[in-house]
Amino acid sequence: MNKFKNFTFWAITAVLSVLVLILISTTESRMDKVIKDNHLRYTGSVQGANSLVSFTTVALGSFRGILADLLWLRANSLQEKGDYYEMVQLARWITDLQPEFSGAAAYLAWNMAYNISVTCSFYDDRWRWVNEGLKLLRDRAIIYNPEDPILYKELGWIFQHKIGNVLDDAQQYYKNQLAYDMMLVVTDDPDWEGIAAAPATADEFIEKYANTPIAKALAKANFTDLDLLNVEFRKNSEVPKSIQTALKNDEKLIHELDCYLRGQYLRDKYKLDPVKILAINKEYGEFDWRLPEAQAVYWAKMGLEKTPEHRSLDCERMITQALFEAFKSGKMLVLNSNNKELKPLIHLIPNFDVLDSVRKIFDDTIAANPKVPSFPSARENFMKDAIMLLYNYGRFSKAEEYFKMLQKDRPEMNYGTLETFALKQTMGELKDASYKKTMDLIDSRLNQSFFYIVFGDDDAVIANEKVAKAIYAKHQKDHYDVPRLLLPPYSKIKKEALDKFMASCSPEIQDILKSRLNISESETADDAESIENLDLTVKKTPEKKDK
């Protein structure tokens, strides 16, 4: 009897256990479906994680949270003491232990890029912390959470605000370091079509180039291992000489291989997809991808693309703001880019390729919000800024186009001609300009023209001197009857401005300027021929064609 009772008990227990397991399995399947359908987050397996992270999430189970809490306590304690040596590793461990807790990664990256960086006295130390914040989001958190727009927004924000803005004393150093880094893979005139069309993986490369001259050249130069080829390319950012020789210096084949290697470099180190870059360039205009605004737009676009709803107000705002900043200073002029012994000299100028995209955003915003009075006013200010920048950089036809738009928007305003408008914007009411203010404005324009001689931007040179001469002529006309207010001869003003500019430059810049102006060492203000007739450009180029 007792045996029968025991058997019955265990049989019922077994049946109930099976039923419970079936119910649990059914419930879990339904929950998994809800998670998948609604793109919810959970602490199960992590897509895109390396083997160590995948093992940790399974092996430690719920204990991961306890261990992560201990690491958080350790990190906070170190930060309070000002001891940051372990912070990078702790941030990585916390992110790996809680790979789908995107809020933790966002905070840790922000903390390194903003809080810890500013405690450092040296700019190179600050940049290291900013860079670590970038890498935590870009190289880890986004890999674990590819559909979370918060991470894309935070990553883009570091590029746009921390590096691109001027709030940090080290902001220029950040911009330069990012540019130097990106210049290893992005040239002055990159072939984005070619890079995007190149194979995206080693397997695709092998499949495409099997039994071709490129494959034979790689074998002949002992580069059958593509990883070794990538390492060698990244030493000097060029196809190894031995491969170029094996390809018989065929420029087309060398360029094709170069495009593949640059694409791999972008994907591996910066997580930038050349195909996406090409699409963004086509949508908004050609970006300079060595600058932070371009990468801010890239990650904001990825946030919109990856999030299931394809909507994120933060990402949309970032695109708008980054485009506007890219228009104002989103193109880089580089000096010494081919000199391996000197750091390149970098100067930022407006990127007119994205100008129409910025205007379209203003137009779309006004159309969507017709009752908001501040938007038309903001657009008018933008149009005035755009006209002045276009005019000052020699884009006269585009400046005229935007000037006509402004006149159409504000017909009640008597703006006169483009030339008149440009001068008024430069000097305000010309009749009220003092002698000193006029001289300062002329000097400023001449200095700009000398500066762009160094960088070889002839159109900007011509445009700035054109404004300087117009200011001079207007002042002389307005004060012709008051001798004491008349300015010295324009040639003298120009020569003195050139002398002062030369004195403020490094010897290297002085040599470049003298060479391009054909000024000999013996020439001085006294014996040089009339400076007014001095050609400020190496050559007269036609006006740039606006895209």
CATH number at residue 95: 1.25.40
How many angstroms separate the CA atoms of 156 and 110, rounded? 11
Neighbour-count burial for 162-174, b at 16+ CB within 10 Å, e otherwise: bbbeeebebbebb
**412 in the same domain as 496:** no
The pLDDT value recorded for residue 307 is 84
Number of domains comprising the chain: 5
Distance CA 125, CA 24 (A): 53
Give yes or no: residues 22 and 89 share one domain: no
pLDDT of residue 246: 93
224 belongs to a structural domain: yes
Quote the CA–CA distance of 199 and 262 in Å, as a whole number: 11
Rounded to an integer, what is the distance from CA 75 to the centroid of its chain? Answer: 31
DSSP per-residue string spanning 423-470: HHHHHSSGGG--HHHHHHHHHHHHHHHHHHHHHT-HHHHHHHHHHHHH
Tell me the sheet residues that pair with 347. 333
For residues 125 and 170, the answer to whether their CB atoms sit within 8 Å is: no
Q: Are residues 147 and 248 in the same domain?
A: no
Q: Which of 380, 407, 427 is the last residue of a domain?
A: 427
- As a whole number of angstroms, the distance between CA 182 and CA 74 comes to 35
- Please check whether residues 171 and 75 belong to one and the same domain: yes
Closest by alpha carbon to 39, among 153, 151, 147, 140?
A: 147
Q: In sequence order, what are the beta bridge partners of 335? A: 345
Among the three residues 175, 196, 226, which one is the final residue of a domain in this structure?
175
* End-to-end CA gap in the chain: 96
Per-residue pLDDT of the chain (547 residues; tens, 9 = 90+): 566 667 677 777 877 887 877 777 677 667 656 655 655 554 444 454 445 445 455 445 555 566 666 676 777 776 776 766 677 777 777 777 777 778 888 888 998 899 889 988 899 999 999 999 999 999 989 988 888 889 999 999 999 999 999 888 999 999 999 999 999 999 988 999 999 999 999 999 999 999 899 999 999 999 989 999 999 999 989 999 999 999 999 999 999 999 999 999 999 999 999 999 999 999 999 999 999 999 999 999 999 998 888 888 888 889 988 999 999 989 888 876 665 666 777 888 899 999 999 999 889 888 888 888 888 888 899 999 999 999 888 888 999 999 999 999 888 888 888 888 887 887 765 556 678 888 888 888 898 888 888 888 888 888 888 888 888 888 888 888 888 888 999 989 999 989 888 888 878 788 888 888 876 544 443 433 434 444 444 333 444 444 4
Pairing of strands 345-349, 331-335: antiparallel
Residue identified by tokens 């738009």 is: 405
- Cα-based distances in Å from 196 to 146, 208, 266, 428: 22, 15, 11, 48
d(CA 127, CA 135): 12
Q: Is residue 150 part of a domain?
A: yes
444 shares its domain with 520: yes
Domain assignment of residue 36, yes or no: no
On whether both 69 and 100 belong to a single domain, the answer is: yes
Is the Cβ–Cβ distance between 234 and 265 less than 8 Å? yes
State the pLDDT at residue 293: 95
221 shares its domain with 164: no
Rounded distance between C-alpha atoms, residue 41 and residue 240, angstroms: 46
Domain assignment present for 317: no
Same domain assignment for residues 161 and 245? no
Q: Write the DSSP assignment of 296-308 as a string of letters.
A: HHHHHHHHHHHST
Are 439 and 519 within one domain? Answer: yes
| Cα distances (angstroms) measured from residue 233 to each of 227, 259, 265 | 10, 11, 9
Does a structural domain hold residue 280?
no
Can you give the residue range of the structural domain that contains 422?
Answer: 369-427
Q: Give domain status of residue 117, yes or no.
A: yes
The pTM of the full predicted model, rounded to 2 decimals, is 0.78
- 200/247 same-domain check: yes
Both 24 and 4 in one domain: the answer is: yes
Q: Could you tell me which residues come within 8 angstroms of residue 188 by beta carbon, excluding any fewer than 6 positions away? A: 334, 337
Residue 448 and residue 412 share a domain: no
- Domain assignment present for residue 93? The answer is yes
| Residue from 301, 163, 182, 184 nearest 235 by CA | 184
Residues β-bridged to residue 334: 346
- Going by C-alpha positions, the residue among 183, 158, 145 that lies closest to residue 42 is 145
Asked if residue 327 is part of any domain, the answer here is: no
| Domain final residue pick, 175, 198, 215 | 175
